[in-house]
Amino acid sequence: MTANEVLVRARGVRKSFGEVEVLRGIDFDVHRGEVSVIIGPSGSGKSTFLRAINGLEFIDEGSITVDGQEVGYTLENGRAREWSDREFADFRSRIGMVFQRFNLYNHVDALENVAMSLIHVKKISKSAARERAMQELERVGLGSHAEKMPHQLSGGQQQRVAIARALALDPELMLFDEPTSALDPELVDEVLGTMKELAAAGMTMVVVTHEIGFAREVGDSLAFFDEGTVVEKRSPEELLTQTQSIRIQNFIEAVR
């Protein structure tokens, strides 16, 4: 797969929770090496779509492929077979996901938080896992905080530990679900700074955020979701300055 080819392809994706249709026929492509940013109001389907890419939500209709592989199913003798738990785990180990909440283990320090995923997912030795974990903590600027417990870290530092934990698995794709929304304003820049460094290094990223400045500076594409649909998807500069949609204009003005 070359740099210009599609890594994530979604076609006709629909998802309902009870009577509420959250995704209503989503078509969406993410190219390898691209930073694809998604904005939109709460309840527009952004997080559900991100979770569907990672196989954390089953879709009702349509298809999502990652690197040409249908998420959740394997074709055998012309029929679709649902993945086993092991196949889901193997697939998710190739995709890093960072949530709004940091989801750290509170009973172990930062180093162990990163190392545990390597021990349990990659099945490598504890010493090798700790060595790699330290490398990733240093990568996100937290090498000197390796022995601190989560409660001893700021929110921004905890989120960077979560990013380090995802990076330790060598993902080919990183998904960020509003990674700064739970942070105090003065801590947002340190997390965005880490994400900018990942983008500069060529990491393929899908980022759900309200950080318009990040979208403009780092994003290769910017999509606006509303009521389970992709209203518009263009370059960030075009969407932010040239959209004719009053809905999008009002939203951008509100979050700036």
Evaluate whether residue 201 is within a structural domain.
no
Tell me the residue range of the domain where 123 lies.
Answer: 105-169
Evaluate whether residue 192 is within a structural domain.
no
Look at residue 210 in the predicted model and tell me its pLDDT.
93
The whole-angstrom separation of Cα 128 and Cα 193 is 28
> Which stretches of the chain score pLDDT less than 50?
1-3
Evaluate whether residue 125 is within a structural domain.
yes
The whole-angstrom separation of Cα 122 and Cα 86 is 13
Q: For residues 55 and 71, is the Cβ–Cβ distance under 8 A? A: yes
**The pair of three-digit structure tokens given for residue 44, joined into one six-digit string:** 């527009």
Evaluate whether residue 37 is within a structural domain.
no
Evaluate whether residue 159 is within a structural domain.
yes
- Please report the DSSP string for 3-65 in residue order: TTSEEEEEEEEEEEETTEEEEEEEEEEEETT-EEEEE--TTSSHHHHHHHHTTSS--SEEEEE
Look at residue 112 in the predicted model and tell me its pLDDT.
97
Evaluate whether residue 212 is within a structural domain.
no
Question: What's the total number of domains in the chain?
Answer: 1
Mapping DSSP to helix (H, G, I), strand (E, B) and coil, where does residue 205 land? strand
Look at residue 101 in the predicted model and tell me its pLDDT.
86
Look at residue 256 in the predicted model and tell me its pLDDT.
80
Mapping DSSP to helix (H, G, I), strand (E, B) and coil, where does residue 107 land? coil
**The pair of three-digit structure tokens given for residue 109, joined into one six-digit string:** 């320090």
Evaluate whether residue 43 is within a structural domain.
no
Entry pTM: 0.93
Name the residue among 59, 73, 3, 74 with its Cα closest to residue 27: 59
**Order of strands across the sheet with 61-66?**
20-31, 6-17, 61-66, 69-70
Evaluate whether residue 178 is within a structural domain.
no
